[in-house]
Structure 1
Amino acid sequence: MVKSIVLNVLSLFTLVFISLAKNVTDIKDCPALSRRTPSISVNDLRVDDIKVIGALGDSVTAGFGIMGFDKNAPVFIASQKSKLEYRGLSYSIGGDRGAGTMSNFINHFQPEVFGASIGTRLAGICTDKPRIDVLNGALSGAIAMNLDGELDYLISTMKSTKHINFENDWKMINIQIGSNDMCGACNTSYMNQVTPEKYGKYVDSVVDRIHSSIPKVIVNLISSFDLSQVFELSAANSQYCAARKDGTGDAGCSCAVNSEGLNKMKEFSKGYDQKLLEIYKKYQSNKSNSFAVAYQHCNFEFSKFSMEFFSTLDCFHPSLKGHTWLSKAFWNQLFLPQSQKPNHLLFNTEETIYCPNDSDRININ
């Protein structure tokens, strides 16, 4: 009888909570959170506790190709623009005014958050423009093996930036890597460095280093895309993609040229996700008050996606609409326990943004 009453009360509480939840199309429409003393534990972390945001990854996080290929521009100008990284629009770390990004969502609740990248720059092999990159350590072309070098940049910049209280500010570091690793599975020059085992080793190593080197931090692991599905979809929509018309439709991905390569990418994608899940579970059983790992999976059904998700530059990188949707999808997952995160995600240009309330915490369970 008592158990039944308790369950009914919990059910009623859940219904009330759901009715109070608010979803909006613009983060500006989310009500502010009530002020409180900043959390002393990562297990009680709200988004407005985050004062520093950083990111590690590859060309997706670097914002490569976001604005597509301008077919109406003179050839020289279109060619130059096709080499740009739109770092300020990157879904997880972009800070351009009005951009729909996770860092801008956090900024709505915590105006003092620092680290978002801004503006554009030519794709490069190093993070050498701190006024643009800020704490976006992602590099176009990077594989998991390169994460350690990206973290070097992040740590040194955090320690040398006057806006950051390195010891006391709560930090979030978003990590997404794997697209180039997957493509490298068919590249004989470094295919041994991109196996799921090596991938897991490199990501685990950099997470361990963050744990030991950066105080008060939550690492947000975001799984990579299953690129085999991407190439299957784009092959059927080659007219959408400017690059396919000049013979570079594989976007430089050696595994995309035949079914054997695509199957290998599919296999590696599953292997990478399994390694990320293992890293997440490792820290579930090794909890502390100052460090945690969250995991956001990318179970995308690309076969059902509109081509609007992809850049017209190469049908490989996400477009501006794609990045905007990704920011909303992963933001909404932040507040859900692992068991309640959606099994499949479908691209939706009308996706809404969840407004966290005072009782919401960044969920690390």
Structure 2
Amino acid sequence: MHLYCFILAALLGLSTARPLQYSFRHFCPTFDRRSAAPTSVHALNIGDFKVIAALGDSMTAAFAAKNTRPLGVIPLEDRGISFSMGGDSDAVTVANLIRHFQPELVGTSTGSQVAEICTSDRCPTVIRNVNQDGLNGALSGAVVATLQTELEYIQTEILRRDDIDFVHDYKLINILIGANDLCSGCSAFNNHPTPDEYQEMLTSVLDNIRSNIPRVLVNVILQFNVSQVWDLTHNIPSCQAKRAGGLVFECTCAFLGKDNSRRQMDDLAYEYRQRARNVVASYTRDDPSFGVILDPGFEGIELKSWPLDMLSTADCFHPSGLAHSTMARSVWNNLFRKQEEKSTNIDVANLPAIYCPTADDIIHTD
């Protein structure tokens, strides 16, 4: 996901894939929203959220998620179908599923646009497309050190917007980060935070959220082993051609490294996940205005068992629209499970139905 050459690379020989069915009509019965909001973030049902936001990288920005593109100058992010934040009509996303139960939900990202690229912690040159980004703070190329910059954007927007009651509205923030750190997480291209540094930076972001954003629940989503993209694609001629044209730089340790480099990536991914667990476990339920939960749903993903159309045809690396809808289903269903009951894998051959919550389904924070 390193994006040094993304705009050029995205223009190299894009193929046309069969149409992907990432749209939906959702028929879960709705329920009446409460007349008075609960007094604690630890007692929320899905209809209590008024605001949704996200921090992350190109996966949350839905880079190259739509597979069919015209040649020439093209938009590179499809934020409207982002698994966690997409607000495009009928896209299967966590945001749209929440909106089914809370039509007044705000913060979703929409449409397609040129990528907002960041390859450092501060990202001084990024110009936000506020109208389409919404509260999707993700930046393509982001690393864990970038999260503070993304959070500053979200905080500013939440305070600026007239459709958000900063003090009283309940907010859900999804965080998925680490893929770009892992892509430089091998000895051959050593430019990644240590597990201790990863834990420190994630803790700092969560502390910042707790101190500055009231009535917020944070969902920390564990990163899968990104190196597996190599296993799925390295024998595919169209993918080989794209990497020969420069797309190896999306994930140098996976695509330029050897088997040992990919094992180092996986070892680091394991350590990052363990540190994320430690961070989430360190927060208690004493604060009625702040909660943090852990979603292990991507942890056990085995990409070798996934069909190739789960990856974008633009780069054979990023999730396609079909994958985004599948990821959304996983995150959504896990929201309603107790921690010990949450799924840790996405079996694409046996996907569970989208869960239909009732007013009695509380988002568990213990």
> TM-score band (shorter)?
0.7 to 0.9
After TM superposition, give the deviation of residue 183 of structure 1 in Å: 0.7
CA 1:307 to 1:251, structure 2 compared with 1: closer, same or farther past 3 Å?
farther
2:180 aligned partner: 180
CA 1:346 to 1:35, structure 2 compared with 1: closer, same or farther past 3 Å?
same
CA 1:218 to 1:98, structure 2 compared with 1: closer, same or farther past 3 Å?
same
After TM superposition, give the deviation of residue 316 of structure 1 in Å: 1.4
2:5 aligned partner: none
Q: In 1, Cα distance between the equivalents of 2:25 and 2:198?
A: 35
Equivalent residue for 1:35, pick from 30, 33, 36: 33
Secondary structure, in 3 states, of the residue corresponding to 2:218? strand
2:11 aligned partner: none
What do the CA deviations read for 1:42-86 (whole angstroms, capped 9, x no partner)?
12101100000000100000110101364xx44xx2xx33x5100
After TM superposition, give the deviation of residue 244 of structure 1 in Å: 2.9
- Indicate yes or no: 2:115 matched with 1:116: no
CA 1:160 to 1:190, structure 2 compared with 1: closer, same or farther past 3 Å?
farther
Please tell me whether the aligned partners of residues 242 and 312 of structure 1 are also in contact (alpha carbons under 8 angstroms).
Answer: no
1:65 aligned partner: 64
Please tell me whether the aligned partners of residues 223 and 276 of structure 1 are also in contact (alpha carbons under 8 angstroms).
Answer: yes
Unmatched segments (≥5 aa) in structure 1: 1-24
Percent identity for Structure 1 against Structure 2: 37
Please tell me whether the aligned partners of residues 65 and 312 of structure 2 are also in contact (alpha carbons under 8 angstroms).
Answer: yes
Equivalent residue for 1:244, pick from 220, 242, 245: 242
Q: In 1, Cα distance between the equivalents of 2:115 and 2:157?
A: 20
- Which structure has the larger Rg? 1
Q: In 2, Cα distance between the equivalents of 1:239 and 1:189?
A: 26
Stretch deviating more after TM superposition (333-342 or 249-258): 249-258
2:223 aligned partner: 224
Please tell me whether the aligned partners of residues 108 and 135 of structure 2 are also in contact (alpha carbons under 8 angstroms).
Answer: yes
Please tell me whether the aligned partners of residues 84 and 123 of structure 1 are also in contact (alpha carbons under 8 angstroms).
Answer: yes
Q: In 1, Cα distance between the equivalents of 2:338 and 2:25?
A: 22
Give the counterpart letter for 2:175 in structure 1.
Answer: I
Q: In 2, Cα distance between the equivalents of 1:140 and 1:349?
A: 31
Q: In 1, Cα distance between the equivalents of 2:276 and 2:292?
A: 10
CA 1:100 to 1:53, structure 2 compared with 1: closer, same or farther past 3 Å?
same
Aligned residues: 331
Q: In 1, Cα distance between the equivalents of 2:94 and 2:26?
A: 13
After TM superposition, give the deviation of residue 198 of structure 1 in Å: 1.5
1:19 aligned partner: none
What is the RMSD computed on CA atoms of the aligned residues? 2.1
Secondary structure, in 3 states, of the residue corresponding to 1:168? coil
Give the counterpart letter for 1:167 in structure 2.
Answer: V
Give the counterpart letter for 2:207 in structure 1.
Answer: D
2:198 aligned partner: 199
Q: In 2, Cα distance between the equivalents of 1:271 and 1:114?
A: 35
2:304 aligned partner: 303
1:15 aligned partner: none
Secondary structure, in 3 states, of the residue corresponding to 1:227? coil
Give the counterpart letter for 1:132 in structure 2.
Answer: Q
Q: In 1, Cα distance between the equivalents of 2:188 and 2:262?
A: 16
Secondary structure, in 3 states, of the residue corresponding to 1:136? coil
Give the counterpart letter for 2:131 in structure 1.
Answer: R
2:12 aligned partner: none
2:340 aligned partner: 339
2:287 aligned partner: 288
1:165 aligned partner: 165
What do the CA deviations read for 1:88-146 (whole angstroms, capped 9, x no partner)?
11000011111110000000000111000111111123251100111011000000001
Q: In 2, Cα distance between the equivalents of 1:268 and 1:225?
A: 11
Question: Looking at both structures, which has the greater relative contact order when contacts are Cα pairs under 8 Å and sequence separation is at least 6?
Answer: 2
Unmatched segments (≥5 aa) in structure 2: 1-22, 118-125
Stretch deviating more after TM superposition (265-274 or 240-249): 240-249
Q: In 2, Cα distance between the equivalents of 1:195 and 1:147?
A: 16
TM-score calculated relative to the size of structure 2: 0.85
Please tell me whether the aligned partners of residues 240 and 307 of structure 1 are also in contact (alpha carbons under 8 angstroms).
Answer: no
After TM superposition, give the deviation of residue 341 of structure 1 in Å: 1.2
CA 1:44 to 1:286, structure 2 compared with 1: closer, same or farther past 3 Å?
closer
After TM superposition, give the deviation of residue 189 of structure 1 in Å: 7.9
Q: In 1, Cα distance between the equivalents of 2:259 and 2:68?
A: 28
After TM superposition, give the deviation of residue 343 of structure 1 in Å: 3.6
Equivalent residue for 1:107, pick from 81, 99, 120: 99
Please tell me whether the aligned partners of residues 24 and 91 of structure 2 are also in contact (alpha carbons under 8 angstroms).
Answer: no
